[in-house]
Amino acid sequence: MATYLLWAIAGFVLVIAELLTGTFYLLVFGVAALVGALVAYLGGAVWLQVVSTAAASLVGVYLVHRWWQKHPKDSKSENSLDVGQTVIFERWVNEAGKIARVRYRGSSWDAKVDGSPKSNDVLTIQTAENGVLHVSSVSA
């Protein structure tokens, strides 16, 4: 099998694998492998294919890393479907620890509560971590 086909197959496999991760790093390595495929197709020596693939990888990783630094992941964005939704306060589980049960999407959830709500008060989800909602009053 021609060398450029091996590079191309590796590149496409990495690009497809990237669809499962969403980090962009596998995309970088996939594109770099496609650069290696292009160099191989144009008749470049194996050492040139490897060097061009490595160079494309380094540049790509640097660019992705820089992009992630400029666009940090917001902890609220991981729970974007829940953040901002309203819940109904049911009862305190541990009032001193600010742990309560709230009704959300038809079931009871544990919640860390800001403030001192009363039964049936409407609260808003601020974040959600490890199955525990962090909620506060609607006016907060």
3-state helix/strand/coil string of 69-102: HHCCCCHHHHHCCCCCCEEEEEEEEECCCCEEEE
Q: How many helices (H) and strands (E) does the chain have?
A: 3, 5
Same domain, 95 and 59: no
Tens-digit pLDDT string for the chain (140 aa): 899 999 999 999 999 999 888 778 999 999 999 999 999 999 999 999 999 999 999 999 999 999 888 887 655 445 567 788 899 999 999 988 899 999 998 889 999 999 888 888 899 988 888 778 899 987 64
Q: Which of 74, 94, 88, 90 is nearest to 125 (CA)?
A: 88
Domain final residue pick, 47, 70, 93: 70
Give the model's pLDDT for residue 24.
87
* Domain span holding position 53: 3-70
Domain count of the chain?
2
Determine the Cα angle at 28 with ends 22 and 30, to 5°.
95
